[in-house]
């Protein structure tokens, strides 16, 4: 068994999706109140190249109310393409009032998808005011080879735009970049080698660790698989190569405890309040 890690990374998924509207500033600040060490989030881009927090590159029907008060149907959500809207247009859509079908505890508040820059500013101000240690930011690049230049910039442009905001806000020491798309991580590794990389792995990805790392082409800082894939052998193989293992998305206290005992380096959860229970 691994040691219980004192530097265990408590990551709030999309802020704290189980408790507050996902990928919003109130979710990030609430996660900090609960004591997360890392804020996990997703970034997409608007038509005018503003980095904005959003899990999908469109307005998801589960969370969105349109400017005229109507809801979005599941069949039409992909037409609400954020990459084809200006940042100002995106701010007309509410993503906090519609009751979430999968997260009944989620507080309902009127809120928009914030820019990455505004989120950095809010967190910085909040930490200074509350005298808390500064968190890390685990930022996912939402790219896919099938939707380059349709729903998002291609990998090089995406990473350059993202890094521009990170540098402007002087956040390089506090960020790590994660992706299921190895292309963004490869570009990042070549052009911004000081930024930690996180390789995300889907639950249906049955390739071995060696094959996954060979496809990536370098050793990432963190290996972040679906929690169902984690076992003692995987942990040993990663730790032998000095790779941290931080599984996603773990929402039951028993599973969190079991994974901690196994020796993972951190956990991503929609309910970061569970880390303290």
The confidence band for 6, taking pLDDT boundaries of 50, 70 and 90, is low
What is the CATH number for 155? 3.20.20.190
Q: Where are the alpha helices (DSSP H) in the chain?
A: 25-34, 87-90, 116-130, 155-168, 182-191, 209-216, 232-240, 253-262
Domain annotation covers residue 252: no
Q: List CB contacts of 151: < 8 A, sequence separation 6 or more.
A: 44, 57, 58, 81, 82, 83, 144
Domain annotation covers residue 23: yes
- In tens, the pLDDT along 15-55 reads 999 999 999 999 999 999 999 999 999 999 999 999 999 99
Domain annotation covers residue 2: no
Q: How confident is the model at residue 2, as a pLDDT?
A: 38
To the question of pTM greater than 0.95 for the whole model, the response is yes
Q: How confident is the model at residue 131, as a pLDDT?
A: 84
pLDDT at residue 70 above 50?
A: yes
Helix (H, G, I), strand (E, B) or coil at 184: helix
Domain annotation covers residue 219: no
Question: What is the average pLDDT value for the chain, to the nearest integer?
Answer: 96
- In tens, the pLDDT along 205-214 reads 999 999 999 9
Domain annotation covers residue 243: no
Arithmetic mean of pLDDT, 150-157: 98
Q: How confident is the model at residue 154, as a pLDDT?
A: 98
Residue 160: give the domain boundaries: 10-210+266-276
Q: Give the total number of structural domains in the chain.
A: 1
Domain annotation covers residue 127: yes
Domain annotation covers residue 224: no
Q: Pick the residue with more confidence: 133 or 115?
A: 115
Domain annotation covers residue 223: no
């Amino acid at each position: 068994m691994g040691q219980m890690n004192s530097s265990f990374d408590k990551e709030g998924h999309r802020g704290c999706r189980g408790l507050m509207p996902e990928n919003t500033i109130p979710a990030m600040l609430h996660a900090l109140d609960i004591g997360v060490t890392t804020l996990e989030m997703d970034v997409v881009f608007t038509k005018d190249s503003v980095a904005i927090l959003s899990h999908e590159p469109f307005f998801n029907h589960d969370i969105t109310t349109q400017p005229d008060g109507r809801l979005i149907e599941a069949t039409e959500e992909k037409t609400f393409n954020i990459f084809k809207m200006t940042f100002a247009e995106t701010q007309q859509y509410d993503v906090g009032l519609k009751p979430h079908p999968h997260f009944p505890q989620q507080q309902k508040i009127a809120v928009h998808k914030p820019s990455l820059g505004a989120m950095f500013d809010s967190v910085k101000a909040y930490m200074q005011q509350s005298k808390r240690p500064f968190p890390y930011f685990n930022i996912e690049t939402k790219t896919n080879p099938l939707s380059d230049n349709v729903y998002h910039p291609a990998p090089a442009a995406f990473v350059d735009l993202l890094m521009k905001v990170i540098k402007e806000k002087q956040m390089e020491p506090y960020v790590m970049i994660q992706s299921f798309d190895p292309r963004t991580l490869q570009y990042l590794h070549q052009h911004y080698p000081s930024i930690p990389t996180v390789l995300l792995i889907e639950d249906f990805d049955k390739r071995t660790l060696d094959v996954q790392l060979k496809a990536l082409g370098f050793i990432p800082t963190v290996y972040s698989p679906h929690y169902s894939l984690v076992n003692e052998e995987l942990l040993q193989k990663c730790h032998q190569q000095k790779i941290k293992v931080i599984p996603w998305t773990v929402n039951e206290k028993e599973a969190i405890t079991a994974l901690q005992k196994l020796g993972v380096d951190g956990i991503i959860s929609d309910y970061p309040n569970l880390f303290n229970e």
